[in-house]
Structure 1
Amino acid sequence: MMWWISLLCFIPTNNALNTMIIHHGALMTCIDTEFAQKETWKDCVTSCAQNDTCVIAQANLTTPNECQLCSIQNLMHIQKRFRGNMIIALKTVSLDPITESMCTPFELGTINGHFNNTSNLTQYEYSTQLSEDGNVLNFSYSAMKSCPPQWEHFDRARGSWCIKVIRQDGTHVEASKACNEYNAALTGLETENETYHIWKTAYSLVERYPSQPKITERIWIDGVRKVTCQEKLTFNTKEGCVSFDGFDFEDKFLLEKQGYTWEQHNPDRLGPDSGPHQDCLALWITANNRTIDDEMCSKVLDDAPVKGFACGKEAG
């Protein structure tokens, strides 16, 4: 009697039909397994098929309701021949022609597959390599992430980043909340290219929809002065408060801050003796000027209004 049984199971998801390759007598090695209680093994397979990052489901047929799921970044390898009563289901949208020609891709030993997340903005591709003893499939993968329509893609040290410029009145807090509605945050400025894109896009919007009368404008970007750096006389000299070190940033992918350049004589943290001071960052939108000013977080309109903001989020 053959030690394996393999079949293809088609599970509907929000964006496509995912193929779940089911294989008996195999065991996965996952560095962070998610455990879930399911009614049946089929429910376990469906759960993985409809999860954006899950690549493999596993269970013991003696207790099929004890479902084990593994995300693609956590799967290490698959042991093909395992004496226990284990069963696995590997996810893919399609297999390469060589794999499809075999009765079982596990027996072939080399599996190349791919699938997308629900938004279709992340495509995962993976492959396996057979060990020398012919029993272990070593797993490797890559992820290609893209941005939604009307968002610009940038490569950062911490990963792919998407930026969108929006022309809309509001305070710094209101701008931050508006970005949250896009599952984003006010974007930082990792590079000069990001700053140039934001400035160019915002400037074109100013030209298209000028203020009445048309005057110099700014847009909100990420950066709020730390509470510990708000002392009037030492806000830019105290240790840990010099220049942009004195600000907190929501943009968790921000590392270098090479796109931030102060306007002349800034930061100045102007404000009345009592009351709010200039503790939020804004980008000037003037001809050939892409510099940063610290501004009152509640500012909306005056001689240089804040008339928009730039949001950012991880690609995919």
Structure 2
Amino acid sequence: MLRHLPILLILVTPGYCMFRPQSPKQQCVDPKAYFSVDENQSRQSYNEENDEFFHVEENLEVSQNQLIQRDMVQESNGNCEEGWKNFKRPSGKWCMKIFYEDSITQSTAEQRCQAQGATLSGLQNQLESLYVTYTVSTHIYPSTGSIWVGLKRQTSCEKVGLTRNCTWATSFLWTDNSATGTHGLGWACNQPDNARNRSQNCATLTASYTGSVLGSQTALLDDVSCDFDYVKMDRKDRDIKAYICGKKPKA
């Protein structure tokens, strides 16, 4: 029986949270998300995302023409390594790759990225956010879950919720030294609220074939504890399923 992959169609309303004024009391409208299944995409698209952590090819022989062809393909991908996707940012080219692993902490995800010569990636804009969300949603379908991204709460905002000084735009900073600005800060409504004893210093992106998961909207950010155990807290539908690594391309 063919495995049907969901097509993510997100219609953004004018009241979309990430574009709301920088006021902690500002109300926002939930974005409406519609999902459909396309049989033609079964067994297609995103096969390249089925990555192994360790993949070794022995006795691989390639001709000079193959090497030249590979170099041309790599150059068209911004000189990113095979399996990594190139994104153009104001700070320069950036290579991103999604890795899949359940129930890991933010620090473990960061260690995994560093083993790849990378770091947890931030999100420059909503194009990157939707790419990551769609890719993960199709990979884990019909499951749902969360994705670690490179975003940490500022020290000055660690013990407070949304305030005049700690807003949706200023409470968190990108940690990858590449993402800039606030266009990638697509927070779910009323987030980041720093609930649960004021210890939500990390952030995840929600991935799902539905509009929301346990109250967290698909394709939007939510602040969470860096070692939050979704399964233990009976929130397994939002358990960590993946993390996104990023690094600069080869020179």
Q: Fold conserved (TM > 0.5)?
A: yes
The answer to whether the aligner puts 1:297 opposite 2:226 as a matched pair is: yes
Larger helix percent: 2
Q: How many residues align?
A: 168
Q: Higher relative CO (CA 8 A, sep ≥ 6), structure 1 or 2? A: 2
TM-score by length of 2: 0.60
Residue type at the aligned position of 2:162: N
Q: TM-score, normalising length from structure 1? A: 0.49
Match of 2:199 among 267, 277, 291: 277
Measure how far apart 1:121 and its partner are. 9.4
The corresponding residue for 2:85 is: 152
Where does structure 1 differ by over 2 angstroms across 4 or more consecutive aligned residues? 119-123
Q: Distance in 2 between matches of 1:168 and 1:290?
A: 19
User: Matched residues in 2 for 1:183 and 1:242: separation?
Assistant: 32
Higher radius of gyration, 1 or 2: 1
Deviations 1:88-107 (A, max 9, x none): xxxxxxxxxxxxxxxxxxxx
Matches within 5 A, 1:200-211: 200-207=134-141
Summarize deviations over 1:54-107 as a string: whole Å, max 9, x none: xxxxxxxxxxxxxxxxxxxxxxxxxxxxxxxxxxxxxxxxxxxxxxxxxxxxxx
SS at match of 1:258: coil
> Conserved in 2, the CA contact under 8 Å of 1:221 and 1:310?
yes
Task: Indicate the percent of aligned positions where both proteins have the same amino acid.
Answer: 25
Tell me if 1:307 matches 2:241.
yes
Look up the match of 2:190: 265
* Distance in 1 of aligned mates of 2:226 and 2:90: 29
1: distance between equivalents of 2:120 and 2:164?
26
Give the CA deviation at 1:260: 2.2
- Say whether the 8 Å CA contact 2:78–2:86 is kept in structure 1: no
Change (3 A) 1:183 1:223: same
Q: Of residues 129, 154, 158 in structure 2, which corresponds to 1:230?
A: 158
Distance 1:228 1:261 in 2: 21
Per residue, is there more strand in 1 or in 2?
1
Alignment map for 1:210-225 (pairs within 5 Å): 214=143, 216-225=144-153
The alpha-carbon distance between structure 1 residues 244 and 179, as it changes in their structure 2 partners (threshold 3 A), is farther
SS in 2 for 1:178: helix
Residues 244, 306 of structure 1: alpha-carbon distance in 2 compared, 3 angstrom cutoff: farther
- Provide closer, same or farther for how the CA distance between residues 300 and 204 of structure 1 changes in structure 2, counting only shifts above 3 A: farther
Q: Which runs of 5+ in 2 are unaligned?
A: 1-67, 212-217
| Pairwise CA distance, 1:257 | 3.4
How far apart, in 2, do the equivalents of 1:236 and 1:292 lie? 15
2:204 partner letter = A
Cα shift at 1:156: 0.7
Deviation at 1:146, TM superposition (A): 1.5
**Counterparts of residues 108-187 of structure 1 (less than 5 Å):** 145-169=78-102, 170-187=104-121
Paired amino acid for 1:261: G
Q: 1:201 to 1:122 in 2, by over 3 A?
A: closer
Query: How far apart, CA to CA, are the structure 1 residues paired with 2:80 and 2:205?
Result: 23
Per-residue CA deviation, residues 143-186 of structure 1 (Å, 9 max, x unaligned), is: x9421111111111111111111111310111111111111111
Give the drift of 1:256. Answer: 2.8
